[in-house]
Structure 1
Amino acid sequence: MGLLIRIIFLMIILLLIYSGIRYLLHPKRKLELAHEQKRFYFLDDPNNVRKNFTLTYKGVLFEGEKYLGTTTDSFDVISIFVFPKDVGALKGLTKNDFKTIEQHILQHYKNAKIDWKSPIKEFLNSDDNLPNQTM
Structure 2
Amino acid sequence: MFHILLFRLLLIIAVAIIVFSITKYILDPRRKLEAAKNRGDFYLLDDTENIRRNITFTYKSALFEGEKFLDPNQPGPDVTNIMVWSEDIDEFQRMSLRDFQYMERELKLRYPDALVEWRTPVDDWIKRLKRTRES
**TM-score (normalizing by structure 2):** 0.88
Alignment of structure 1 residues 71-90 onto 2, 5 Å: 74-90=76-92
Shift of 1:73: 6.0
Letter in 2 for 1:129: E
Shift of 1:85: 2.9
**Counterpart pick for 1:68 among 67, 70, 85:** 70
Counterparts of 2:127 and 2:91, CA distance in 1: 20
Moved over 3 A (4+): 70-73
* Residues 70, 76 of structure 1: 8 Å contact kept: no
Letter in 2 for 1:107: L
Counterparts of 1:71 and 1:47, CA distance in 2: 20
Letter in 1 for 2:87: K
Which one is further off, 108-117 or 63-72?
63-72
**Counterpart pick for 1:19 among 18, 21, 26:** 21
**TM-score (normalizing by structure 1):** 0.88
* Residues 60, 91 of structure 2: 8 Å contact kept: no
Find the residue that maps to 1:93 and give its secondary structure.
coil
Aligned length: 130
Aligned to 1:129: 134
Let me know the Cα RMSD of the aligned residues: 1.6
Structure 2 gap ranges (5+): none
Counterparts of 2:103 and 2:86, CA distance in 1: 12
1:100 matches 2:102? yes
Percent identity at matched positions?
A: 33
Shift of 1:45: 0.3
Find the residue that maps to 1:8 and give its secondary structure.
helix
Shift of 1:57: 0.4
Are residues 40 and 72 of structure 1, via their aligned partners in 2, closer, same or farther at CA, if it must alter by over 3 Å?
Answer: same
Shift of 1:71: 7.1
* Residues 53, 65 of structure 1: 8 Å contact kept: yes
Counterparts of 1:97 and 1:36, CA distance in 2: 17
More helix by share: 2
